[in-house]
Amino acid sequence: MEEKLNKIKQEAIELINSSKLLDEIEEIRVKVLGRKGMLTDILRSLGQLTPELKNVVGKKSNEIKKIIEDALDAKKEELTKSGFSEIASKEWIDVTLNPPVSTRERKSGYLHPISQTQYEIEDILTSMGFQILDGPEAETEYYNFEALNIPKFHPARDMQDTFWTEDNNLLRTHTSAIQIRGIEKIKPPFRIMAPGRVFRYEATDASHEHTFYQVEGMMVGKDISISHLIYVMEEVLKGIFKKDVKVRLRPGYFPFVEPGFELDFSCMICGGDGCRVCKQSGWIEFLGCGLIHPNVLRAGGIDPDEWSGFAFGMGLNRLIMMQAGINDIRHFMSGDIRFIHQF
């Protein structure tokens, strides 16, 4: 009996020593000490022994049980500890390093100042019933010039030189090119606006850029006059500057309007007293505008005896430059993130 007990002990200790996983420890515990375990078998058979033997074997069994239990517990603790140190050695991280990109603070992107202003103007004009149109950046000569009452060889073409393609198309010089595309399709009365990127063949400097942004506007109806134009312009400026703005018209020449005007607004920086931004004049040049030339209405299939309208074209870059005190138009296209981050 004693021999048997010693064998169980030896076997159990060997198993425990050679185990490498926590699960194995539990298996051994069941195998030796469990309800049907090796040692339990012995304890169960104690009943058949003489009282003296029972005492001796019982004592011995309990001793062995204790030894095995202790060995199991010790091994369990050892494996748990080494498990942790294994994880620690395999999966350690250097907390002093920069966090990975995915967990770094993410800055959300936002719109370019040109887009911000464009969308603002779109909101103002659509609230007054203007619908938004789009057109191609590479245009035909017809839509950019001819249909706008600027025939071939007309000196007015020199006012807007641009980039030509080999097949005689061009990069549009103004959003006015969208006018005819629009009115060919839409029946009067209508109010349309057309934002977009335009191009000119310019020697660039602080106030000239070969690529810039405009918003075109047009209203056609019965008896549309300059007062409608002035009202809409005042509303647009009020929307942008959040206060009443005075405007004035000066005669200006654009072949597609008659009469044509340059529209100025009172300088928002000095309130009209004269400052550096308005070049001491108290006024800021804002846009070209006028009553649509009958030839343009005709080109769009509209009878000028029945309908009249106004049109305007404003530059977005200059407007933002004035608002934000930007001294060089080339910043807009520079791609310099430090410039963009100021908006």
Handedness of CA 24, 26, 27, 33 (dihedral sign): positive
- For tokens 């091994």, the residue is 75
- Give the contacts of 60 (CB within 8 A, at least 6 positions apart): 2, 5
Residue with the shortest CB distance to ligand PHE: 313
Cβ proximity to ligand PHE, 113 vs 288, nearer residue:
288
Cβ proximity to ligand PHE, 177 vs 278, nearer residue:
177
For 162, the enclosing helix (H) or strand (E) is: none
Q: Least separation, in Å, of the C-beta of 283 and ligand PHE? A: 18
List of residues contacting ligand PHE (CB under 6 A): 174, 176, 254, 257, 260, 288-290, 311-313
Cβ proximity to ligand PHE, 254 vs 283, nearer residue:
254
Listed residue (330, 328, 296) closest to 311, CA to CA: 296
Listed residue (15, 52, 49) closest to 32, CA to CA: 15
Q: Least separation, in Å, of the C-beta of 100 and ligand PHE? A: 50
Q: Least separation, in Å, of the C-beta of 272 and ligand PHE? A: 24
Cβ proximity to ligand PHE, 49 vs 249, nearer residue:
249
Count Cβ atoms below 10 Å from residue 80 Cβ, excluding itself: 12
Cβ proximity to ligand PHE, 25 vs 291, nearer residue:
291
CB 296 within 8 A of CB 179: yes
Cβ proximity to ligand PHE, 162 vs 176, nearer residue:
176
CB 196 within 8 A of CB 137: yes
CB 75 within 8 A of CB 19: yes
Q: Least separation, in Å, of the C-beta of 108 and ligand PHE? A: 35
Instruction: Report residue 141 as tokens.
Output: 């000569």
Listed residue (166, 204, 244) closest to 332, CA to CA: 204
Q: Least separation, in Å, of the C-beta of 330 and ligand PHE? A: 19
Instruction: Report residue 2 as tokens.
Output: 């004693």
Cβ proximity to ligand PHE, 257 vs 302, nearer residue:
257
Q: How many CA atoms lie within 13 A of 65 on its CB side?
A: 16
Q: Least separation, in Å, of the C-beta of 105 and ligand PHE? A: 43
Count Cβ atoms below 10 Å from residue 157 Cβ, excluding itself: 18
Q: Least separation, in Å, of the C-beta of 203 and ligand PHE? A: 18
CB 136 within 8 A of CB 169: no
Q: Least separation, in Å, of the C-beta of 147 and ligand PHE? A: 13
Cβ proximity to ligand PHE, 61 vs 162, nearer residue:
162
